[in-house]
Amino acid sequence: MEKRKLRDLEVSAVGFGAMGFSHGYGPAPEKNEAIKLMRQAFDLGCTFFDTAEGYGNGENERLVGEALKPIRNQVVLATKFRVSNEEAHSKEQLEKSIRNHIEASLKRLGTDYIDLYYQHRINKDIPVEDIAYVMGKLIKEGIILGWGQSQSTVDEIRRAHAVTPLTAIQSEYSIMERMFERDVIPLCKELRIGFVPFSPLASGFLSGKVSVDTHYVGDDVRRVITRFDKENIHANQPLLDLITSFAEEKGATPAQISLAWMLHKKDFIVPIPGSRKIERIKENLGAAKVILTKEEFEQIELQLAKIKIHGNRTDEDIAKLRFKK
C-alpha cells in the first residue's frame, strides 16, 4: 500500500480505527475474531492502528496490544489519554498524572513505547502549553515518538506546536463533515502536521448501506447521531446518489469513493476507518488504490457544493447515549 507521512512517522495511506471492537457500534466480535481481523488488516498492507485508553475502559488497548504483538515493530501504534482538572492542580502534578496514564497504556498494550500519543480532546482548563511540555519530555525519553491533539482549534494547535511540534491532529472529517477544511487542515499543511480523520465514512453512513429501517441497539452511537434520524437519511439521499454514481463509473464502492476523495485532497491526510468484517476491511484499505483524476475530483467538489448536508455527529449528542434505554 502507498505510504504517507504524519510529520516524521511513515504510515499506510489508510489506517485502522479499532474502537468498534470494544464499544460504540453495538455487539462487538469475539476476542479471537477481532485479533484475527487486525492481523488480516496488516497482511493487506495496513501499518497504522488507532486505539485509546477510554475505549472499553482500557480493554481496547489490551486487545490491540495482543493483536499487534507479533508485528509490533512493523506498525505505527496510536493511543490517547485524557486528563481531568483534578489531575492538574500544578504542572508537577499534571506531568505525574500523564506519566501514570501512559504507564497504564504501555502495560495494557504490552509495549515499551507508543508511536503517536494524542490528547483525547482538549481540556479547556489546562493550558495546551503545559501538555506540550510534558509531551516533549516523553519524546526525549523515547517513551513516545510523536504526539497529537484531537478536535483542537487553530489557536490550540499553534500554541502547543510552539512548545513541542505536533505530529498529527485527529479530528472528525468526511464528505459529510468538512468544518476543518477552513482553517485546521491548511494550518496542518503550513506546520507539516499530519491530519488523521476519524469517522471518515460518517459512522458508516457513506457506505450507502444505511436505510430508514436499520435498527441500532445498546451502545451504538448511531442511535444518537442526528444524520441517522429517519428524516435526515431521506434528506441526504442526493449525497449518496452522487458518490454511488462516481463509484459505478470507477468500478468502486461508495465508501471507497468517499475515502479516495479525502486521500486526493492532501498527501498528509490519513483516514482511520473502523470495521469488524473482513469484507469491509478489504474495501476500506482498497480505497488507497482508487485514484481520482483531477477532473473527477473537481466534478465531485462541484456537485458537493450544491448539496446540503442534514444532521451531524457531536460529542454532546453521543453523551446522551448514557441515558438512552
Classify residue 136 as left (phi > 0), alpha (psi -120 to 50) or beta.
alpha
User: For 119-182, where are the alpha helices, taking DSSP H only?
Assistant: 128-140, 154-163
C-alpha 253/C-alpha 244 separation (Å) is 7
pLDDT of 188 reads 98
Q: Could you tell me the CA-to-CA distances from 164 to 112, 128, 220, 283 in Å, in that order?
A: 21, 10, 36, 37
SS3 110: coil
pLDDT of 38 reads 98
Which residues participate in catalysis according to the annotation?
A: 55
Q: How far apart are the first and last CA of the chain?
A: 43
pLDDT of 3 reads 98
For the chain, 325 residues long, the average pLDDT of each consecutive 10-residue run is 97 97 88 98 98 97 98 98 95 98 98 98 96 98 98 98 98 97 98 98 92 85 92 95 96 98 98 96 98 97 97 87 76
- In this structure, the dihedral spanned by the alpha carbons of residues 49, 51, 56 and 62, taken in order and rounded to 10 degrees, is 70
CB crowding 285-305: b at 16 or more within 10 Å, else e: bbbbebebeeebbeebeebbe
pLDDT of 211 reads 85
pLDDT of 212 reads 85
pLDDT of 219 reads 84
In the chain, what are the domains? Answer: 3-323 (3.20.20.100)
User: Do the beta carbons of residue 83 and residue 123 sit within 8 Å?
Assistant: yes
pLDDT of 169 reads 98
